[in-house]
Amino acid sequence: MSSLNNIPPVGFGLWKVAQEDCAQTVYQAIKAGYRHLDCASDYGNEEQVGDGIAQAINDGLCTREELWVTSKLWNTFHAPEHVELAIDKTLSDLKLEYLDLYLIHFPIAQTFVPIETRYPPEWFVDPDAQNPQMELAKVPLHLTWQAMEEQVHNNKAKRIGVCNYSSALIHDLMTYATIKPAMLQIESHPYLTQERIIRLAKQYDIPVTAFSPLGALSYLELEMADQTESVLEQSVVKAAAQNHGKTPAQVVLRWGVQRGTAIIPKTSKFERMKENLALFDFELTEQEMAQISALNSNRRFNDPGHFCEAAFNRFHPIYD
């Protein structure tokens, strides 16, 4: 895999971290050694992430320059005139002058919702309507990308990239990008190895970050996955864990890093935070890597083609 632009290969994901726990969780993560934080306006906790970062810097745990902070442009801010509005709100919440990386969260443009009306805007244009709808906006992705490039020119983002893009969208992006995407963030774990798109990204020299690197674990509480779908229970994972004196989770995370992607696991437990970082004193064998990759069943947990219809009254697939 190409250089990850010096991104720390193991980041800390902030999705689903409750506001009341978030500042302390971020502080503890930085204390545990994390220097890469993965945020998004849609997670609804950037203000608290900012508090945690400020406290950590204040207490001398790290400097701003030592941190890599990623955030994401939400669907309702895709129109060129709203991109700067969105990044300004994120920077103000995070109490930062710049982001290390700003990503388009989904290749889905939705109707603009003013910040003073509702923030984060989420998926419904009006959640209080009798039949709330997810409403699309006619904004082509190339215009959104142009506005993202502006944020690099005005020093609000050091790098820009995309999340949840398909191969076809990446090919398309590379025809018009004057600033090349510095990252592709996609769901990837042993049940969804995504070899083709990772190979394509490598061909274009775009680094890859894998979200949900432990698969089903992030989705159990949302009822988007089943208890039986835990990759940590697989015999090849357990055997590798025994061989290396590591936990099954460390083996799966090591598999993610060893195949050249950055990963963003999430946990609220300090011991687990440290455990998820301790991936660099062992190496899986080629056979172990192949056996874990062979668990692939193309099981995608985070799929708008499913959850938009189930939760937001609109069938909206973005993957074939």
Do the domain assignments include residue 184? yes
Number of structural domains in the chain: 1
- Given a cut of 80, whether residue 1 has pLDDT beyond it is no
Portion of the chain with pLDDT greater than 70, in percent: 98
Q: Identify the CATH number of the domain in which residue 136 sits.
A: 3.20.20.100
- Given a cut of 50, whether residue 3 has pLDDT beyond it is no
User: pLDDT digits over 142-175, tens only?
Assistant: 999 999 999 999 999 999 999 999 999 999 999 9
User: pLDDT digits over 7-22, tens only?
Assistant: 999 999 999 999 999 9
What's the predicted TM-score (pTM) here? 0.96
Do the domain assignments include residue 6? no
- Residues annotated as part of the active site: 43
Cα–Cα distance measured from residue 67 to residue 26, given in angstroms and rounded to the nearest whole number: 12
Do the domain assignments include residue 66? yes
Do the domain assignments include residue 3? no
Do the domain assignments include residue 2? no
Residue 5 confidence (pLDDT): 67
Helix (H, G, I), strand (E, B) or coil at 23: helix
How buried is 18 (Cβ within 10 angstroms: 0-12 exposed, 13-18 middle, 19+ buried)?
exposed
Report, as an integer, the average pLDDT of 171-195.
98
Cα–Cα distance measured from residue 183 to residue 164, given in angstroms and rounded to the nearest whole number: 11
Residues 6 or more apart whose Cβ sits within 8 Å of residue 212:
187, 188, 189, 218, 219, 301, 302
Do the domain assignments include residue 133? yes
Lookup: tokens for 209? 């970050």
Annotated binding site for substrate: 105
Phi-psi sector, 164: left (phi>0), alpha (psi -120 to 50), beta: left
DSSP letters for 211-240: ESTTGGGGTTTTTSS-GGG-GGG-HHHHHH
Whole domain around residue 230: which residue ranges?
Answer: 12-312
Do the domain assignments include residue 320? no
